[in-house]
Structure 1
Amino acid sequence: MTSRIRNAYDIRVEEGVINPDPAQLGLIAELERLEDDLSQRGLFGKVPAVRGIYIWGPPGRGKSMLMDLFYSAIPEQRKVRAHFHAFMARVHDLVRQWREGDKIQRKAVFGVHKGDDPIPPVAALIASEARLLCFDELQVTDIADAMILGRLFDALFEKKVVLAITSNRAPEDLYKNGINRQLFLPFIDMLREKTVVVETAGARDFRLDRLAGDKVWFSTGAEGAVAAFELLWSDLKGGEPEEPTSLTVLGREVTVDRTVGGMARAKFDDLCGKPLGPQDYLAIAKRFHTLFLENVPKLGPNNRQEARRLVTLIDALYEAKTRLVVLADAEPEVLYPEGDGAFEFERTVSRLNEMRSQSWLENEPEALKTH
């Protein structure tokens, strides 16, 4: 009997949605193993412990695509798919709620109220919601995350929570050169014990293929531009849910409302119509490998502040080699024809045109190098 993940993969190959890649066959086989293990029941109906999967390798080798298929196909009812940043943000918020909450507040959120240690109730709450946790783009750069992960996942594994993870780094390279890394090493040992580590290879970068095979600047005056922009976003994000991501910049929170893994989508007014500065844009460029920027208007003398911010945003994206997809009211050359700084804007026009080229898309964004 064909597994659900194999059947879903074969259908998409037949439909031409994805191209078969022999380098992925070992990974598919391991996902089939996990699918089968999750379906098993022990004696007297008990749920057995299941070893999860840790998928790592270079960007664009189909890790997230196969995780999409696996998550959609698996019949497990208690499952959660999340970007690792979002998951850890919630964990820290739950820890805060436990520490700051009184008896009634703790009881309302966690179902219990006794104790000083927030990890057991937080782990119990997460385990009650999901037997299977699927994480995209696992990376650990924050010492607060590093210090909490070992104890949290030790508690989750005790409750037989199963992990399916994608990352650009091997487990032993996580939190490399981080502060007090020796305290993080037990978590790495735990990952290797509780998951099967699978390295992905292959020469194909599926995101690059998709972007390089289509234009990335859409002018609303052209027929079908809006639909094409939406289709490209839909194709690249696959079946993953969108969620907001908050970045801490100089003690402030900068939130991008629509994100999927390493991709972000934002309106021009949200990034350039608000008083954001270079550090905000640098944080966005370092966090996301691809930015979809929509509703970019044609600018004039009355929009000089917005034009100045757009210049700063593009500079940050350019330096980080971030991939940019734009839905605008005009081509770059006529976006800001007159007004303060219009002459200087010509450099931005040059950069925007370079960022549309296939050679630009062959660069590796800084956001991918940090994972």
Structure 2
Amino acid sequence: MSHDNLKVFPSVRERYDALVHAGDLDDDPSQQRLASRFDRLIHDVATKRLATKSSALGWLFSRKAPRHEIVKGLYIHGEVGRGKTMLMDMFHQLVPVKRKRRAHFIDFMADVHERINAHRQALKKGETKQEDPIPPVADALAEQAWVLCFDEFTVTDIADAMILSRLFRALFERGVVLVATSNVAPDNLYRDGLNRQLFLPFVDLLKTHVDVINLDARTDYRLEKLNRMPVFLSPLDDETNRLMDEAWHAATDGATITQDSVKVKGRTVVIPHAARHVARFTFADLCSKPLGAADYTAIIKRYQTIFIDAVPVLDQPRRNEAKRFIILIDILYDHHVHVVISAAASPDQLYVAKSGTEAFEFDRTASRLFEMQSEDYLAEAGKLEPVAEARSAGI
């Protein structure tokens, strides 16, 4: 079904019902209720926007909305694959606001830290006299978007934890409406983190400005679809390509596909195709380039389902690529990453050289590739969430 056709539906609930009617989704009461709640939030946001425009002073002071104009956002938590991101994306598409932003929370915080560092550099150069970077950063963020939608709201970094309370207090004072998905309830954010007591005021602030909803849907629909499909496909032919694309569509579930990147020790590793927790590469993307364990680990910190297209039969002249593939599979296996692979041959026929270290090591790789297709492995794969890369900053 072409999701472009859904543009005719004016509400999240109607868009959701259309997907159910088309057979793209199973009807779920919890998802129905959340869709309707998103529609109420759209109404509240639209009402605030119109009220602001109708006021002669609204244009002047819209960034610092009066207390009575505050709109409570939503914080939706629940287990992986329950439909949180899908419904939030529908809301983001439909909410009638030009200044809106949808971002992965890790990317948003990376942007915040870059803005803070840029302000501090400007202060050192005498380009500003404002010592506190939070107000101007909040001004710039609120000017860019007053409806913020975050996917995978999580706090694992002390630098983020120390800044969140002051930053979001400033954003809320400027009338920003927050919508976020997470795998944990607000009270469990930054649990067992260093100096967590300094983070707790943010939790109280957050719960004042959002309604907290636990999306307790029946099952992990994304993995349910994906686990019905083969995860190692060979040989490389049109049918294999078709099945890979079918599995990709099931895993991304209609989400927008974009190019992404991760920073590793000052270098940029490109993710050619990405949506939500799913990334897609060719073998050449991952193993014909000078990548190593740190690069692969950085990728799986953000993506828990990895597609790898066109793994060739390898031999002695391609031993460097074989070595990278061995390292890649070790990391994917150790972290229980869900993997979908198309290859020229079965796992035990992928490395044909009979001598050398790689020939010995590839026996383990083949064994792991077989195990990664097992029901036990697939039952565990996807349960662990990507974690934020640690950053250091003097906040």
Does 2:237 align with 1:216? no
Q: Deviations over 1:179-238 (max 9, x none)?
A: 111111111111101100000113311121121122223346332333432343344332
- Once the two structures are TM-superposed, the CA of residue 353 in structure 1 deviates from its matched residue by 2.0
What is the CA–CA distance in structure 2 between the aligned matches of 1:306 and 1:15, rounded to whole Å?
43
Q: Which residue of 2 aligns with 1:29?
A: 36
Aligned counterpart in structure 1 of residue 244 of structure 2, from 229, 251, 271: 229
Indicate if the aligned counterparts of 1:320 and 1:365 stay in contact, CA closer than 8 A: no
The letter of the residue matching 1:242 is: T
* TM-score, length of structure 1 as denominator length: 0.89
Uncovered stretches (5+) of structure 2, i.e. residues with no partner: 1-8, 63-68, 389-395
Indicate if the aligned counterparts of 1:290 and 1:324 stay in contact, CA closer than 8 A: yes
How many residues matched? 362
Q: Which residue of 2 aligns with 1:109?
A: none
The letter of the residue matching 2:29 is: P
Aligned counterpart in structure 2 of residue 42 of structure 1, from 40, 48, 51: 51
Aligned counterpart in structure 1 of residue 262 of structure 2, from 234, 246, 256: 246
What is the CA–CA distance in structure 2 between the aligned matches of 1:104 and 1:124, rounded to whole Å?
21
Does 2:220 align with 1:205? yes
- The residue matched to 2:307 in structure 1 has which SS? strand
- Once the two structures are TM-superposed, the CA of residue 23 in structure 1 deviates from its matched residue by 2.5
What is the CA–CA distance in structure 2 between the aligned matches of 1:292 and 1:84, rounded to whole Å?
23
Does 2:324 align with 1:309? yes
- Once the two structures are TM-superposed, the CA of residue 94 in structure 1 deviates from its matched residue by 1.4
Indicate if the aligned counterparts of 1:57 and 1:201 stay in contact, CA closer than 8 A: yes
Aligned counterpart in structure 2 of residue 69 of structure 1, from 69, 82, 90: 90
Q: After superposition, where does 1:259-278 map in structure 2 within 5 Å?
A: 259-278=274-293
Farther off after superposition, 336-345 or 301-310: 336-345
What is the CA–CA distance in structure 1 between the aligned matches of 2:387 and 2:365, rounded to whole Å?
26
Aligned counterpart in structure 1 of residue 372 of structure 2, from 352, 355, 360: 355
Q: Deviations over 1:17-60 (max 9, x none)?
A: 11101222332232122111111033734463211000001111
Indicate if the aligned counterparts of 1:31 and 1:70 stay in contact, CA closer than 8 A: yes
What is the CA–CA distance in structure 2 between the aligned matches of 1:289 and 1:39, rounded to whole Å?
36
Indicate if the aligned counterparts of 2:13 and 2:32 stay in contact, CA closer than 8 A: no
Does 2:11 align with 1:4? yes
Q: After superposition, where does 1:1-371 map in structure 2 within 5 Å?
A: 4-40=11-47, 41-42=50-51, 44-45=54-55, 46=58, 48-101=69-122, 113-219=128-234, 221-237=236-252, 238-248=254-264, 251-253=265-267, 255-258=269-272, 259-339=274-354, 340=356, 341-365=358-382, 367-368=384-385
The letter of the residue matching 1:5 is: V
What is the CA–CA distance in structure 2 between the aligned matches of 1:146 and 1:260, rounded to whole Å?
26
Indicate if the aligned counterparts of 1:297 and 1:335 stay in contact, CA closer than 8 A: yes
Farther off after superposition, 138-147 or 274-283: 274-283
Uncovered stretches (5+) of structure 1, i.e. residues with no partner: 107-112
% same residue? 42
- The residue matched to 1:17 in structure 2 has which SS? coil
What is the CA–CA distance in structure 2 between the aligned matches of 1:200 and 1:115, rounded to whole Å?
42
What is the CA–CA distance in structure 2 between the aligned matches of 1:147 and 1:104, rounded to whole Å?
26
The letter of the residue matching 1:83 is: H
CA-atom RMSD in angstroms: 2.6
Q: Deviations over 1:136-174 (max 9, x none)?
A: 111111111111111111111111111110000110111
Indicate if the aligned counterparts of 2:72 and 2:209 stay in contact, CA closer than 8 A: yes
- The residue matched to 2:359 in structure 1 has which SS? coil
Farther off after superposition, 189-198 or 336-345: 336-345
Farther off after superposition, 214-223 or 9-18: 214-223
What is the CA–CA distance in structure 1 between the aligned matches of 2:43 and 2:130, rounded to whole Å?
38
